[in-house]
Chains A and B, each alone.
Chain A
Amino acid sequence: MIMNSSVVVPVIIIVLYFLALLYGAFFTKSAQMDDKGSIEEFAVGNRGMGWVVVMITMMGLLVTSSAMTSWFAWGVTDGLFTQYVTIYGALGFLFTFIFAKRIWIWGKHYNFLTQPDYIEKRYKSRALANVVGVAAIVIEAPWVIMEFAALGYMINAVTGLNKKVSIIIVVVVVMAYVLYSGMKSLAVTEIIQGVLVFAVFIVGVIFMVYKLFGGFAPLYENLMETAPQNLTISHNGDYPYAYWSSVIITGTLGIMGWASFFTRIYTAKSVREVKKVSWTCVILAVIVVTFPFILSLGGYNIPEALEAAVDENSFFVMARMAGSPFFVGLCAITVLAAGMSLISVVVNSHSVIISENFVKPYRKEMTSVQRVKVARYTIVIYSLVAMAIALLDLPNLYQIALFAYDCIAQVVPLIVFSIYWKKSNKYAAMAGFLGGIIVTLIGNIFGVFGWGGFTPSIFGLIVNIVLHVICGFAFKKDEGVDEMFAVLDKYEMAKK
Chain B
Amino acid sequence: MTEKQLENKRKVKTIHTVGGIVMAILIILTICPPLVGLWDRNDIWIGFMPLSQIMIILLPLLAGIVLWIIYVLEGKYVDEDITDLQEGGE
Contacts and interface: CB of A to CB of B under 8 A. Distances in A.
Interface of A: 47-48, 80, 83, 86-87, 89-91, 94, 97, 101, 105, 108-109, 216-217, 220-221, 224, 228, 231-234, 240-242, 244-245, 248-249, 269-272, 275-276, 278-279, 282-283, 285-286, 290, 294, 453, 490-496
B80 A220 contact: no
Nearest to A268: B83
Interface string B41-63: 11000001110110011011101
B81 A270 contact: yes
A69 to B, nearest CB: 21
18 contacts: A80-B56, A83-B56, A97-B71, A231-B53, A232-B50, A233-B56, A241-B36, A270-B80, A270-B83, A272-B81, A275-B74, A275-B80, A276-B71, A283-B68, A285-B60, A453-B33, A492-B88, A493-B78
Contacts of B31: 87, 244-245, 248-249
Contacts of A234: 37, 40
A491 B85 contact: yes
B78 A494 contact: yes
Contact of A270 (B9, B40, B63, B82): B82
Given A86-B56, A220-B50, A240-B33, 8 more contacts: A90-B60, A90-B63, A233-B40, A272-B75, A276-B71, A453-B33, A493-B82, A494-B79
Interface of B: 1-2, 4-6, 8-9, 12, 23, 27, 30-34, 36-37, 40-42, 48-50, 52-53, 56-57, 59-61, 63-65, 67-68, 70-71, 74-83, 85, 88-90
Most central of A108, A109, A269, A494 by chain B CB within 10 Å: A494
Given A290-B57, A491-B85, A493-B80, A94 B67 contact: yes
Most central of B8, B40, B57 by chain A CB within 10 Å: B40
Contacts of A217: 48
Contacts of B34: 241
B33 A242 contact: yes
B67 A97 contact: yes
A217 B36 CA distance: 24
Nearest to B37: A241
A105 B75 contact: no
A83 B58 CA distance: 12
A279 B63 CA distance: 9
B89 A495 contact: no
Contacts of A97: 67, 70-71
Contact of B42 (A228, A240, A269, A491): A228
B57 A494 contact: no
A495 B6 CA distance: 9
